[in-house]
Chain A
Amino acid sequence: MEVTVKIFRYNPEKDARGNYVTYKIEAEPTDRILDVLEHIKGKTDGALSFRRSCAHGVCGSDAMRINGRNRLACKVLVRDVGANITIEPLLGMKVKKDLIVDMEPFFNNYKKMTPYLVNNSPLPADGRERLQSPEQRARFDESTKCILCAACTTSCPSFWANDEYFGPAAFVTAHRFIFDSRDEGASQRLMVLAETDGTVRCHTAYNCTDACPREIHITQAIGDLKMAMVTGKLE
């Protein structure tokens, strides 16, 4: 089938501002949007730039706006979006070139969450694993799925309004550790989450949940965090 692909282009070495370029190409309904981009880059316009690596939705490189919604280009097929496709960079991040955005602020917010297990207690005397029941493990299972693609954070109206907002992805990271029964860092993380740019800016728009390519119930996870802050309990 013939598809019409409109892509946001911006090369800071040449362009004063971004513009849209339209390409018409042949594609299979089962092609990934990433395949379409590769084809355009390979055959028509070598300068078209985007990030990609695993090509099957686990590395988080190719989050972008596809027909107005944040998606991974390798997890959307042509048949999912039809013959008219618009591809744009993630919103709310500085565009470095074409579909490539500046990820540094995003990773800085991630780092504010103390993104590692905090446990200063002695290890089990036999040197074996710390015990954790399947139920305790299940409590934070969803938030371990996060691939840090930024689809959620850049879909959030609160983030669009305020660059300093830590954003849903950072909260998912906080959730992953706070609800891990082996972790002892909840109180310090909850202090950070209570800052002005923390969870208080979440107005439950649910855009993040819709945007997540890993189907994490992010708004629910943020709700868990808010509840923990109010009650002081991790349940």
Chain B
Amino acid sequence: MANVHQFEVIVVGAGGAGLMAGLYASKSAQTAVISKLYPTRSHTGAAQGGISAALGNYEEDKPEWHMYDTVKGSDYLGDQDAIEFMCNEAIDAVLELEHMGLPFDRTPDGRISQRPFGGHTNVETGKPVRRAAHAADRTGHMILQTLYQQCIKSNVTFFDEYQVVDFIMADGKASGIVAIELATGEMHTFHAKSIVFATGGHGRIFEVTSNAYAYTGDGAAILYRRGIPLEDMEFFQFHPTGIYKLGILITEGVRGEGGVWINGKGERFMPKYAPHVKDLASRDVVSRAIITEIKEGRGVDGKNYVYLDIRPETVNKFAKEDGRTNPDGSPYNLTAETVLKKIPDIIDFCRVYLGVDPVTQMMPIQPTAHYTMGGIPTNKFGEVVVDDKGTTIPGLYAAGECACVSVHGANRLGTNSRLDIVVFGKHAGLKAAEYAKSAQWTNLPGDADSAARSDFEALRNGSGKVNAYDLSNEMKEVMFREVGIYRTEKDMQSALEKVREMQTRYKEIRVSDTGKIFNTELLNAWELGNMLAVAEVVALSALNRKESRGGHSREDYPERDDANWLKHSLVTRKNGKAEISYKPVVITKYQPKARVY
């Protein structure tokens, strides 16, 4: 075993959660961050609209309201202790980002500017509240840049372009990870006391997705193979506003600025589905409304898309009808100039990819696979929890989209993912360092990298009868069609069988590139194995849950069923088979009630 490194804390992944964990762990423990991408390439950078916190910079707002909205948004599946913790930490988290230098947009009096977002309300009046702190429509980009800058300032050690491939345990404790250096193809073993997984989501298992190529569920798949359960994997968010066909995200901030949904008949349709907040309803509600409009023949030109309209004349017409006002009470009035200033990147996407100018034309939109609510089960300190009794694995942590705390439950509210990565990235880093300072070194097994070596050898030596690219596309198409926005027993059963059959065919892959340097073909093939593992768990969990809740909408079980299903599902791999178990939802302040917007 060559190339052995030793650090007290290893953070895997360098998006918002990984950088925050690295930044905080490195304050007291010897820390390294390893990432398959250069940190600034991470998918946090694609987040657009904002980060939520009850700063109240325009109007009254409270962490309690933020908590209530998040609980309701989660369709009561979120753990309320963790949600309360996150919402209470939110204000300081956003202020800390500002102190670090994040260039938030400003209010006229120089404070951090905030905009409305779907599902964020004044709980007393039911009206939308401006809670999303934003930096134009590139808030995630600014979070990623700012945290990377702070890591440079603090001299955090990075291993850029190292792909994690395995997790090593010894005596029931985290002991290390194995990674491949992309530039050389060399395998490295990192011996550590604490390991924080911050590897992001797995949206690439779906055909139409807003997610980066990198989003292949690596961390979740690695831990799942090593016997760690995955929680609530049936819950995946389909974002209502994807660019038609491409899936590229149009920020919900467009709706915050007054954007209106229009069907193929030219009708504003959201008041039918969400009479109170209308176009600003929660993401799962809008995605289902769009699909219903399309199914009932009101897509544009009979196709599977609708329009989002941010043209000032449309926005102002409906704002007047709705009685929408500015913070000072004057009537809301959007100008073309404001549109250009507030959503420049969106304008650019539409022009580049569609040849459409949103200031004068409507945007063709369809829902796109967007966010992984489920993942590696953790508590609010980022400690990985493996059962319903709170049992943890010493030294193992997870944070960000790969983790399931669970603060998003069955459906995440817009802007809460940025808050999640900042808050739980920080606490996972702190906890990982605290543990590392008190723990003894484990005995790293002498053959730590042997399993990973044989996995990669297999990919080089398959029969070659199966093409990895075709297999990957087949999986994505099946998952999007059969485990997508609306689900049925028949479709999900079919998807599960197909994915399992694809796992068998996967063994026939042979990578044609025999080299070591930047063998991206080999790494892509390995990532496909992760996606197939995760896709199986998603399909299985979805098939198993016989109700509709948040992002999981079944045509055959259209109602939420709290009597039987107000519980988290866990899927654990035992003796090569996936086993399902459950754990209770933590309910503190808010008893479940019907979720109406």
Contact = CB atoms under 8 A, between A and B. Distances in A.
Given A116-B101, A141-B136, A47 B513 contact: yes
Contacts of A111: 152
B135 A144 contact: yes
A124 B112 CA distance: 14
A43 B110 contact: no
B12 to A, nearest CB: 16
Given A53-B37, A58-B345, A123-B99, A41 B213 contact: no
B138 A58 contact: yes
Contact of A144 (B103, B214, B348, B513): B103
Given A43-B469, A129-B112, A58 B46 contact: yes
Contacts of A145: 138, 141
B248 A52 contact: no
Given A56-B248, A61-B37, A137-B105, A12 B517 contact: yes
B521 A59 contact: no
B42 A43 contact: no
Contacts of B521: 41, 46-47, 49
Task: Count chain B CB atoms within 10 A of each CB in A55, A59, A119 and give the residue with the most.
Answer: A59
Contacts of A132: 106, 110
A84 to B, nearest CB: 21
Interface in A25-75: 30, 38, 41-43, 45-47, 49-61, 75
Interface stretch (A96-104, A153-161, A203-211, A224-232): A96-104
Interface string B116-142: 000000000000000000011010011
Interface in A161-186: 176-177, 180, 182-183
B469 A75 contact: no
A117 B106 contact: no
B27 interface: no
Q: Which size bracket describes the interface of B in this complex?
A: 35 or more
A53 B212 contact: yes
B41 A11 contact: no
Contacts of A123: 99
B106 A133 contact: yes
Contacts of A38: 469
Nearest to B525: A46
A54 B46 contact: yes
B344 to A, nearest CB: 8
A123 B100 CA distance: 11
Contact of A129 (B95, B108, B152, B470): B95
Given A53-B37, A53-B213, A41 B469 contact: yes
A235 interface: no
Nearest to B98: A129
A43 B352 contact: no
A134 B42 CA distance: 29
A207 B516 CA distance: 35
B511 interface: yes
Contacts of A100: 518
Contacts of B100: 116-117
Nearest to B107: A134
Q: How large is the interface on A (under 10, 10 to 19, 20 to 34, 35 or more residues)?
A: 35 or more
Contacts of A192: none
A140 interface: yes
B95 A127 contact: yes
Contact of B45 (A42, A54, A117): A54
Contacts, number: 159
A12 B105 CA distance: 47
A42 B468 contact: yes
B353 interface: yes
B467 A131 contact: no
B103 A180 contact: yes
Given A13-B515, A100-B518, A131-B110, A60 B41 contact: yes
B43 interface: yes
Given A14-B515, A41-B521, A134 B105 contact: yes
A219 to B, nearest CB: 20
A54 B214 CA distance: 8
Contacts of B512: 45-47
Nearest to B99: A123
A85 interface: no
Contacts of A47: 512-513, 515, 519, 521
A233 interface: no
A30 B243 CA distance: 13
A92 interface: no
A119 B101 CA distance: 9
B43, B92, B248, B513 pick with most chain A CB within 10 angstroms: B513
A119 B212 CA distance: 34
B183 A96 contact: yes
A69 to B, nearest CB: 15
A75 B40 contact: no
Interface string B509-539: 0011101111111000000000000000000
B111 interface: yes
Contacts of B468: 42, 46
Contacts of A41: 469, 520-521
Contacts of B490: none
Contacts of B516: 13
B149 interface: yes
17 contacts: A42-B468, A49-B518, A53-B41, A53-B213, A56-B248, A58-B45, A59-B212, A61-B41, A77-B353, A115-B149, A117-B100, A129-B98, A132-B110, A144-B145, A148-B38, A176-B103, A177-B101
7 nearest A-B residue pairs (beta carbon): A42-B469, A117-B101, A131-B110, A47-B513, A116-B149, A46-B521, A46-B512
Interface of A: 11-14, 30, 38, 41-43, 45-47, 49-61, 75, 77, 96-98, 100, 103, 107, 111, 115-117, 119, 123, 127-134, 136-137, 140-141, 144-145, 147-148, 176-177, 180, 182-183, 215
Given A43-B467, A46-B512, A56-B248, 12 more contacts: A49-B521, A53-B37, A53-B43, A55-B212, A61-B37, A96-B518, A127-B95, A128-B95, A130-B99, A131-B111, A137-B104, A144-B135
